[in-house]
Structure 1
């Protein structure tokens, strides 16, 4: 289950790009809190503390805002600098204890499949519905010793208690393939592509010869 982390927050009264840059220079993160029919609340969060908290998927935050009651919130959208990874802006969704929410939970594979196999993971996360205060940190799927040809669907795994998946039970999570077969297919595709390239080159040389004569004239 994801941790619940207390984050002190300040009310923001300045807006725009210039104000946002000043907030970031002060090692803080611009944020907005909304949901449950309330007016959006513009906040500034402590930069380093928030960065550490958001390393955990679906972390539940308790926001301590002066003059406001403490609010539970889930990260809805996180904007990061593409080069540094630093937080630029965070959208937070208000949730309540006992409320059901739909979130993407990471799928983690455990163990190793049988030798001479290749593991193809179709889903790296799974959309599930769970209590806002009991969101699983991850969904573990064991592939230990699985032979080629094995497929694991959502119907084959046990979801954490209190969690449900509203999609198709036959949704594929991971498939185990025989490495030799995939190598053969790749080799065949490569030979076919090489043959097409040679044929195209020969046609190009024929066409190019005619063009060259025309230019010499």
Structure 2
């Protein structure tokens, strides 16, 4: 993926208030705010077209971004994005400054892999019920993963995968687990599809064999 997706040009804005923001949006600009790292917040303006292109990529929401503010590059995380209720327009963005030596807290998406290879799903009529689709992590910016994989290849019928069973990259902590054992949340469960039985699966397989023989 091109690093250009994670770099946005921005300008400092001094014309503040609802009226000013409305004028910016009419001019295809996105008002934004940059804060954190013990520094004063800075009001910014970004090009709407660039933002629309970048926000189509899932990694944009969990990647350390580079804001090019008047030639000065600042690393930041996207913390909030407000959208128009029905138009394909971004109306405001919040960015959090990133310090390379300080841990960041942010949400990372889960990618569920090998569902099509899980015997419980492929041959036993099960389906994967996702309980959560992202997790909050703490790590240094250099260790921030774009996503965390949940491998379902060997998950059995009726089995639930919990947070403690996820394989996370070195240096990454799941914040929910840090709260104690009672916070070992369910991530995904493979359940029998409604109305499906093992006999149904066997009968279906036998039917396929008979059809082949004919």
- Would you say same fold, with TM above 0.5? yes
Task: Report the secondary structure of 2:49's partner residue.
Answer: helix
1:172 matched to 2:189:
no
Unaligned ranges ≥5, structure 2: 198-214
Alignment CA distance shift 1:95-1:2 (3 Å): farther
Q: 1:165-193 CA deviation, whole Å, 9 max, x = no partner? A: 1323632111111224799xxxxxxxxxx
Unaligned ranges ≥5, structure 1: 184-217
The residue aligned with 1:54 is 55
The residue aligned with 2:32 is 31
Structure 1 CA distance for aligned equivalents of residues 15 and 196 of structure 2: 57
Task: Report the secondary structure of 1:9's partner residue.
Answer: strand
User: For residues 1-217 of structure 1, what are the structure 2 equivalents within 5 Å?
Assistant: 5-55=6-56, 56-66=60-70, 69-112=72-115, 113=118, 114=120, 115-144=124-153, 146-168=155-177, 170-180=184-194
Deviation at 1:94?
A: 0.8
Structure 1 CA distance for aligned equivalents of residues 140 and 68 of structure 2: 22
Structure 2 CA distance for aligned equivalents of residues 51 and 98 of structure 1: 30
Task: Report the secondary structure of 2:86's partner residue.
Answer: coil
Structure 2 CA distance for aligned equivalents of residues 2 and 107 of structure 1: 22
Moved over 3 A (4+): 1-4, 180-183
Deviation at 1:117?
A: 0.9
Task: Report the secondary structure of 2:61's partner residue.
Answer: coil
Structure 1 CA distance for aligned equivalents of residues 176 and 87 of structure 2: 36
Structure 1 CA distance for aligned equivalents of residues 185 and 143 of structure 2: 24
Alignment CA distance shift 1:140-1:81 (3 Å): same
Matched residue count:
182
Q: 1:47-104 CA deviation, whole Å, 9 max, x = no partner? A: 12122223322232222222x7421111111111121231100111111113211111
